[in-house]
Amino acid sequence: MFITIIIFIVTLLILVVIHELGHFLVAKKFNIKVLEFGFGIPPRAWGKKIGETLVSINWLPFGGFVRLLGEDEVDKSVLDDKRSFASQSVGKRISVVVAGVVMNLFLAWLLFYLVLGLSNFKADLPLLYSHQFVGANTQIQNSILIQRVQDNSPAKLAGLASGMVIQKVNEQTFERVTDLTSQIKNLAGKEVELSVIDSSTQAESKVKITPRANPPAGEGALGVALAEFQVAKLSYDTPVQRIFSGPVHAYNLTVYSGGILGNLIGQSFTDKSFSPVSQTVSGPVGITSVVNSILTETKDPLIPYLNFVALLSLNLAVMNVLPFPALDGGRLLFLLIEAITKKRVKAEVEKWVHTIGMAILLTLMLLVTFSDIKKFF
């Protein structure tokens, strides 16, 4: 787990650097003074001034920031400083604010290109609700997924891993878990051949395995936890589909994930409980657990992990563009109001709104973290 934590922190650091680098580069292009380039959330642990910019490492290793001259300044004299963010045109300020989101989008697209290219431009998505995907050929297929593999089980010894889909048992196909497990029990003690597909790489393989006649309680003959579901099999086949597969796949995932979240919120109101949403929202602790599962339980973790990082980058872009105070989207909202009304919102008002927004975000992060920790007990 220690190695997993280090890998996750380094990954998160890369995502933060990419995001904040967008703000930094565009600010420099417009000759705006960058006061600080910070990694993590204050209080500050270390800092060194490079040129006119303080590079800092802060104690909370999640997130980061670029602090610009005049960004939250209530002193009107700053407006007279030509290198102040506050003195720039509304168009330039909008460019600086959205630059981080754009960088995260570009990174996600690049990683999706890489993942799809390594997977023969195919991808599987569990179909949790009826949805029409765009820009790809789509087939719906019933599948049986290996969710978990027990240690020292026949499945573990045979090389089966979570994320694999069981296609056939001795060339016989199954769409129901009950039918498959019944057949496996009938073949206990006899060697069988499983046809499986790695859902992350689409690699097909055949595995020889002997089901146990008397397995430990709760483990089953193979020692796996199985789930049945429908899978949307996306295939980017034509040259045009492959050229645009990176951004199109990101769009498909964003819209599909938004639909899932909408359904969960609707269910929460129907059930008068927030548990459907809270159980699917994860913070740093929960995400670290997912990373650990990918790295330790997946047979070939490279492609699944790259896909996971692409999803993280995409989620960072989407979350940051939401019009919530303290986020890039919140700052963008104030700038759009200024662009439409031709009047700047009072700096004091905007500063307090973002301060309150940051307090709410930190509180939500703590609540999500506590929720993640409770899931382990």
- Cα-based distances in Å from 263 to 131, 249, 257, 324: 12, 21, 10, 22
Least confident residue range of 70-84, 241-255, 333-347: 70-84
CA distance 57 to 155: 45
Residue 10 has pLDDT above 80, yes or no: yes
* Backbone φ, ψ for residue 11 (5° rounding): -60, -45
So what's the pLDDT on residue 151? 86
Look at the block and give the residue holding tokens 């199985």.
226
The tally of domains found in the chain comes to 2
Binned at pLDDT 50, 70 and 90, residue 276 comes out as: very low
Are residues 99 and 136 both part of a single domain?
no
Domain that holds residue 34: 1-121+239-377
Mean pLDDT for the stretch of residues 101-120: 96
Residue 138 has pLDDT above 80, yes or no: yes
Give the other-Cβ count within 10 Å of 222's Cβ: 28
So what's the pLDDT on residue 347? 83
Are residues 223 and 246 both part of a single domain?
no
Amino acid at site 73: E
Binned at pLDDT 50, 70 and 90, residue 375 comes out as: low
> 97 near 331, Cβ under 8 Å?
yes
Pairing mode, strands 204-209 and 224-235: unpaired
Average pLDDT of the chain? 86
CA distance 250 to 113: 10
The continuous run of DSSP H or E covering 185 comes out as: helix 177-186
Binned at pLDDT 50, 70 and 90, residue 377 comes out as: low
Pairing mode, strands 172-173 and 204-209: unpaired
- Cα-based distances in Å from 217 to 174, 224, 352, 367: 24, 12, 58, 36
Comparing 370 with 246, the larger pLDDT belongs to 246
So what's the pLDDT on residue 143? 83
So what's the pLDDT on residue 81? 85
Give the other-Cβ count within 10 Å of 220's Cβ: 20
Are residues 194 and 329 both part of a single domain?
no
Pick the last residue of a domain from 189, 216, 235: 235
- Mind giving me the DSSP string for 39-71? EEEEEEEEEEEETTEEEEEEEEEEEEEEEETTS
Are residues 24 and 157 both part of a single domain?
no
Give the other-Cβ count within 10 Å of 206's Cβ: 11
Give the percent of the chain with pLDDT over 70.
89
- Cα-based distances in Å from 361 to 64, 129, 322, 365: 14, 30, 13, 6
Comparing 347 with 238, the larger pLDDT belongs to 238
So what's the pLDDT on residue 203? 65
Look at the block and give the residue holding tokens 């070939």.
300
The CATH number given to whatever domain includes residue 213 is 2.30.42.10
Q: How many residues does the chain have?
A: 377
* Backbone φ, ψ for residue 253 (5° rounding): -65, -40
Least confident residue range of 201-210, 323-332, 359-368: 201-210
At residue 139, the 3 state secondary structure works out as strand
Least confident residue range of 125-134, 179-188, 245-254: 125-134
CA distance 124 to 212: 31
Q: In this structure, is the dihedral angle defined by the CA atoms of residues 310, 314, 315 and 320, taken in order, positive or negative? A: positive
Are residues 191 and 337 both part of a single domain?
no
Amino acid at site 365: M
Kindly state the DSSP code that residue 216 receives in the 8-state scheme.
Answer: P
Residue 302 has pLDDT above 50, yes or no: yes
> 128 near 323, Cβ under 8 Å?
no
Residues near 263 by beta carbon (within 8 Å), at least 6 away in sequence: 128, 129
Residue 247 has pLDDT above 80, yes or no: yes
- For residue 273, the Cα-to-chain-centroid distance in whole angstroms is 25
Give the other-Cβ count within 10 Å of 263's Cβ: 13
Q: What pTM value is reported for the model?
A: 0.79
Least confident residue range of 31-35, 182-186, 288-292: 288-292
Are residues 32 and 129 both part of a single domain?
no
Tokens at residue 366, please?
């703590």
Are residues 326 and 360 both part of a single domain?
yes
Are residues 204 and 264 both part of a single domain?
no
Comparing 1 with 2, the larger pLDDT belongs to 2
Residues near 152 by beta carbon (within 8 Å), at least 6 away in sequence: 223
Binned at pLDDT 50, 70 and 90, residue 277 comes out as: very low
CA distance 377 to 128: 27
Q: Exposed, middle or buried, 363 (CB in 10 Å: 0-12/13-18/19+)?
A: exposed
Pick the last residue of a domain from 189, 210, 235: 235
Are residues 79 and 48 both part of a single domain?
yes
Are residues 67 and 216 both part of a single domain?
no
326-362 confidence digits (pLDDT tens): 899 999 999 999 999 999 888 889 989 999 998 998 8
Are residues 137 and 154 both part of a single domain?
yes
